[in-house]
């Protein structure tokens, strides 16, 4: 689009309305990360302590880093690959490369989980949902094996096809119905969950941290919580650079940030309020749910609710829309990178990449261990590294311009100073510590898995 419009900034298209930008950013942020990944990670990481650390990281790291990406995007009017050239700091392109590699890996298994959502959507229309052990058996069948590979292919075809046909915008508009629908469905399910026998135990687990061990728990869950904060807000990959590149200068980046983070976080918290009461009531220890947590617990619920098969189908259809609008944003980063780096046309680049990403994802569709392996590496290491590099760039190399940029569009000036101070002195050390812990954790995970 930029090429057609020429290089003049004022000639470049901007979002027609404030809401257009927010919807696109929310469409990218809200996805499997909130509804699938957040509850299962919280369950594996001990519950409330994880929630506390995650919320602190969203506020103290997520918001500043989101603004870092917004500032880079609006200042450069470019995608993450071109952005650093445009700002005359080409060597920082490495941040874009890290992001593109992360996107490549993430999409390969994101698509597998998207395929699970399709299978669950169809299950409501065919055999219906089953509770109890049947729910666990159904998940095991869905998650790995031929079916998983076939629907991984279906999801990747949808992503590639919709992008190639240029109907992505239309679908993203349709997805605007998705966010409110997901909220309504989750609120309804959470209310239903609150009436179940396992509810009080679940809330205890999910919402009340054990203060005596909070500090040591916090350190042990730090990499996972930081990875989740980045993943759910689509940070560290440059997605938000691209979206902000279309934002007009008259707009306050700060208030948009608040709204995006608020919606994204609320949906994750709600997903936890749904999953844990069901798991406890079904007698599944939260740590044992793993990547199946949301699927097993909800299938159990839909099996018992009146009109459960219909509600379930609608729910998983909404989840599919949410996953698709996030997947487009990841695909976009990877495709732009390949076009830029290898000078290939958009159409062949998209098709070729969709095929390569599909192949890369196959191991994760055969064995959930690989899924965790990909997931930890991409989120806890690559996304954090990408965010660290971008923050260092803005805080230490591009600070004056960044401050000017964030001040545009009615953002209060005290906030700009506050933000920049955080980006210089707070964000990098925290991300560095997180990264070190993540690398050690990953090494241990590899050892325990393969040796
Ligand atoms: N934020 C998306 C989700 O929560 C996933 C995503 C990660 C999208 C990174 C873009 C970049 O599902």
* Most informative mutation of 326, 383, 390 for ligand 1 (most atoms within 8 A of CB): 326
CA of 447 from ligand 1 middle (Å) equals: 28
How many whole angstroms separate alpha carbon 147 and alpha carbon 198? Answer: 32
> Does residue 108 have a pLDDT over 60?
yes
Determine the average pLDDT of the residues in 189-204: 96
Residue 14: the pLDDT is 67
Nearest to 199 by CA among 284, 301, 289, 279: 279
**For ligand 1, atom 11: residue with the closest CA:** 234
Query: Which atom from ligand 1 is nearest to the alpha carbon of 34?
Result: 4
Pocket lined around ligand 1, Cβ cut-off 6 Å: 28-29, 31-34, 106, 231-232, 234, 237, 239, 326, 329-330
CA of 29 from ligand 1 middle (Å) equals: 5
How many whole angstroms separate alpha carbon 240 and alpha carbon 295? Answer: 29
Class of residue 191 by CB neighbours under 10 A (exposed 0-12, middle 13-18, buried 19+): exposed
Query: Which atom from ligand 1 is nearest to the alpha carbon of 32?
Result: 12
Residue 439: the pLDDT is 98
Query: Which atom from ligand 1 is nearest to the alpha carbon of 322?
Result: 12
> Does residue 405 have a pLDDT over 80?
yes
Per-residue pLDDT of 352-367, as tens digits, reads 999 999 999 999 999 9
- Spell out the CATH class of 2-450: mainly alpha
How many whole angstroms separate alpha carbon 87 and alpha carbon 77? Answer: 10
* Most informative mutation of 25, 27, 28, 240 for ligand 1 (most atoms within 8 A of CB): 28
CA of 323 from ligand 1 middle (Å) equals: 8
Average model confidence (pLDDT) for the chain?
91
Determine the average pLDDT of the residues in 133-160: 95
| Structure confidence at residue 177 as a pLDDT band (50, 70, 90) | confident
* Most informative mutation of 271, 329, 334, 384 for ligand 1 (most atoms within 8 A of CB): 329
Determine the average pLDDT of the residues in 160-166: 81
**For ligand 1, atom 8: residue with the closest CA:** 234
CA of 99 from ligand 1 middle (Å) equals: 12
CA of 264 from ligand 1 middle (Å) equals: 11
Residue 408: the pLDDT is 86
| Structure confidence at residue 161 as a pLDDT band (50, 70, 90) | confident
Per-residue pLDDT of 199-219, as tens digits, reads 999 999 999 999 999 999 999
Percent of the chain with pLDDT over 90: 74
> Does residue 13 have a pLDDT over 70?
no
Determine the average pLDDT of the residues in 59-85: 92
| Structure confidence at residue 346 as a pLDDT band (50, 70, 90) | confident
Any idea where the domains of the chain sit in the sequence?
2-450
**For ligand 1, atom 10: residue with the closest CA:** 234
> Does residue 9 have a pLDDT over 70?
no
- Poorest-confidence range of 100-104, 107-111, 401-405? 401-405
CA of 420 from ligand 1 middle (Å) equals: 25
Residue 174: the pLDDT is 67
Residue 413: the pLDDT is 75
């Amino acid at each position: 689009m930029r090429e057609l419009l020429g290089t003049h900034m004022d000639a470049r298209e901007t979002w027609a309305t404030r809401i257009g930008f927010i919807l696109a950013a929310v469409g990218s942020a809200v996805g499997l990360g909130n509804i699938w990944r957040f509850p299962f990670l919280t369950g594996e990481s001990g519950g409330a302590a994880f929630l506390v650390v995650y919320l602190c990281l969203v506020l103290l790291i997520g918001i500043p880093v989101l603004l870092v990406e917004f500032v880079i995007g609006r200042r450069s009017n470019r995608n993450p690959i071109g952005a650093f050239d445009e700002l005359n700091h080409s060597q920082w392109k490495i941040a874009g490369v890290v992001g593109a590699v992360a996107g490549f890996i993430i999409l390969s298994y994101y698509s597998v989980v998207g395929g699970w959502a399709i299978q669950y959507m169809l299950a409501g229309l065919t055999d219906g949902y089953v509770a109890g052990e049947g729910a666990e058996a159904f998940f095991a069948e869905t998650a790995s094996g031929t079916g998983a590979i076939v629907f991984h292919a279906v999801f990747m075809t949808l992503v590639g096809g919709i992008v190639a046909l240029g109907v992505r915008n239309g679908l993203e508009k349709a997805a605007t119905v998705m966010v409110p629908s997901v909220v309504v469905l989750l609120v309804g399910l959470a209310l239903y969950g609150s009436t179940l026998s396992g509810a009080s135990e679940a809330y205890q687990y999910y919402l009340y941290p054990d203060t005596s061990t909070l500090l040591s728990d916090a350190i042990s869950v730090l990499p996972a919580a930081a990875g989740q904060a980045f993943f759910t807000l689509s940070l560290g990959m440059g997605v938000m650079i691209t979206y902000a590149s279309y934002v007009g200068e008259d707009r306050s980046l700060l208030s948009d940030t608040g709204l995006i983070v608020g919606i994204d976080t609320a949906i994750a918290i709600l997903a936890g309020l749904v999953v844990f009461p069901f798991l406890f009531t079904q007698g599944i220890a939260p740590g044992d749910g793993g990547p199946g947590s949301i699927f097993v617990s909800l299938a159990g619920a839909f099996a018992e609710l009146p009109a459960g098969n219909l509600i379930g189908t609608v729910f998983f259809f909404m989840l599919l829309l949410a996953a698709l609008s996030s997947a487009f944003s990841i695909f976009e980063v990877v495709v732009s990178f390949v076009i830029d780096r290898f000078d290939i046309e958009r159409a062949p680049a998209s098709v070729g990449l969709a095929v390569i990403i599909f192949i890369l994802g196959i191991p994760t569709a055969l064995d959930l261990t690989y899924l965790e392996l990909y997931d930890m590496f991409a989120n806890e290491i690559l996304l954090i590294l990408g965010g660290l590099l971008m923050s260092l760039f803005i805080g230490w190399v591009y600070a004056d311009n960044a401050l000017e940029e964030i001040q545009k569009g009615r953002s209060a000036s005290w906030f700009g100073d506050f933000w920049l101070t955080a980006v210089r002195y707070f964000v990098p050390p925290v991300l560095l510590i997180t990264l070190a812990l993540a690398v050690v954790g990953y090494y241990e995970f590899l050892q325990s898995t393969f040796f």
